[in-house]
């Protein structure tokens, strides 16, 4: 069986970012066949900036087929453009709309954070 999960990250908290990365590792280790998408919006956008502390973690997970998205509403609010982010990051027009769409397609949902 293939599992599919969309993870919402809206926090600027470093320990929440770290906890989410650990959760993704655990998902990939525990489930043989899983697609993971991470939607980054609101205060969480620094997580995906090119100079992010977690830059290498993100690149490593992308190699394991985890897809990272940043919300264009957040980008506009923060006056950011695509080149400000880690190169492989993709854009979605609305982060929450993407999460709703995925759930309506049957994906599971996890909210990152404590």
Q: Does 61 bind a second copy (CB under 8 A)?
A: no
Number of C-beta neighbours around residue 63 at 10 A: 8
Q: Is 93 in the site for a second copy (CB under 8 A)?
A: yes
Nearest Cα neighbor of 10 from 96, 84, 83 is 96
Of 7-15, 46-54, 55-63, 81-89, which segment contacts a second copy by CB under 8 A? 7-15
Per CB under 8 A, the segment of 46-54, 56-64, 78-86, 98-106 that binds a second copy is: 98-106
The residue (of 12 and 88) whose beta carbon lies closer to a second copy is: 12
Backbone angles phi, psi at 78, to 5 degrees: -100, 5
CB atoms inside a 10 Å sphere around CB 58 = 21
Encoding tokens for residue 72? 């264009």
Please identify, using beta-carbon distances, which residue of 8 and 68 lies nearer to a second copy.
Answer: 8
Shortest Cβ distance from residue 27 to a second copy (Å)? Answer: 6
User: What one-character DSSP code corresponds to residue 69?
Assistant: E
């Amino acid at each position: 069986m293939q599992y599919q999960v969309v993870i919402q990250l809206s926090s600027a908290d470093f320990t929440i970012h770290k906890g989410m990365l650990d959760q993704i590792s655990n998902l990939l280790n525990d489930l043989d066949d899983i697609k993971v998408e991470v939607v980054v919006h609101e205060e969480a956008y620094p997580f995906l900036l090119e100079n992010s502390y977690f830059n290498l973690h993100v690149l490593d997970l992308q190699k394991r087929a985890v897809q990272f998205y940043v919300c264009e509403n957040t980008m506009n609010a923060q006056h950011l453009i695509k080149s400000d982010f880690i190169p492989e990051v993709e854009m979605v027009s609305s982060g929450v709309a993407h999460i709703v769409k995925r759930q309506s397609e049957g994906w599971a949902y996890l909210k990152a954070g404590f």
